[in-house]
Amino acid sequence: MCSLKSVVLRKFISQRCFHTTQIRMIDPKTVEEIKIPVPWGHIAGKWWRKNEEQPVLALHGLFDNAATFDRLMPLLNENISVLALDMPGFGKSSNPPAGMSPNYLELIIWMRYLIKDYFKWKKANLLGHSFGSNLSFSYSGMFPDDVEKFISIDCSRFNMASKPEYLLDDLKRGYMGGVLKTLGIPYEGNYQQHLDHMYNSRAKTPFKLSKQFCELFLSRDLEKISEDVYRNTTDPRPHLKYMGRPTTSFLDALAGQIKCQMLVIRATGGVLVKHRKEMLEKQLSIISQHSPRLVCQVVEGGHHVHLENPERVAPIINKFFETYD
């Protein structure tokens, strides 16, 4: 469990309170591919156990897609319906119009449109990994009365937050680069070339993925254009600095607004280590003052622990819903 001051500890649930119950498998046949119309095309997604109940809205990490939850979803309890979306420019979702720069706040507006205008949900339940958790954190702080539960898996908000002294330069790079990036030609090649490209690109980062999981993401990233030739449809612009990114001080302010039930899952080999772990603990202390239930769990694994070791994550999420449904 994350170490916090004693005033915070009483709002946390100890690791011992979570026990591994028998996992009830979800039939993969209950997964439905969906498309949601938007002005620039559509948003694609996978709706797990679609029924009359409002689903949990699940958002993936940067340069991943909805397939990031494919191994976790079958391990969740039968009564948990989840809508995992490909964010704009990722997976099977349409890319934003050419010439536009990537804008963080526009993604919050996109979330707001889906939740309040398209689905007309009174309160949302959010599940986010990495960048998807970053967006869900911001949404929960900006619209605190409209979120019931927020489950965060190895959130990357401290990785992408702008320091005030670098904010202007980041904005300039994001703006100019957004125009130039959309003029480029999407990467094309045979399937093996795409697989090797993704595997080698991720191998250069601290968060490597096996080819097995790269193939999972490619299942939603590639468009066949001729015999054994595929085009990667992923929007290249998010490689740049997002315009409208929050600063660290703004993230602290958002933390002070969050008042939903919150489950924070941190991977031992993920992004929330060293100084970022300290920043997380500071914000959890802030959140604990307003959140009715705040749970922090640490699991062994890497940044994609929900994908690589879903059996470690699923019981925690199941227990959270069982206890606070």
Q: Please choose, from the candidates 131, 137, 135, the residue with its C-alpha nearest in 3D space to the C-alpha of residue 150.
A: 137
Task: Say how far apart CA 106 and CA 243 lie, in whole Å.
Answer: 9
- Token pair in block for residue 91: 């997976």
Per-residue exposure over 261-292, b if at least 16 CB sit within 10 Å of its own CB, e if not? bbbbbbbeebbbeeebbebbbebbbbbbeebe
N-to-C CA span, the chain: 22
Task: Say how far apart CA 72 and CA 57 lie, in whole Å.
Answer: 14
* 39 bridge partner residues: none
**Backbone phi and psi for residue 323, each to the nearest 5 degrees, phi listed first:** -80, -35
Q: Are 87 and 61 in contact (CB under 8 A)?
A: no
**Backbone phi and psi for residue 26, each to the nearest 5 degrees, phi listed first:** -90, 130
Q: To 10 degrees, what angle do helices 104-112 and 131-142 make?
A: 70
Residue-wise DSSP of 102-128: PBHHHHHHHHHIIIIIIS--SSEEEEE
Q: Which residues are catalytic?
A: 130
Residue ranges in the chain assigned as alpha helix (H) = 6-9, 104-112, 131-142, 157-160, 167-181, 191-203, 211-221, 248-255, 275-287, 305-308, 310-324
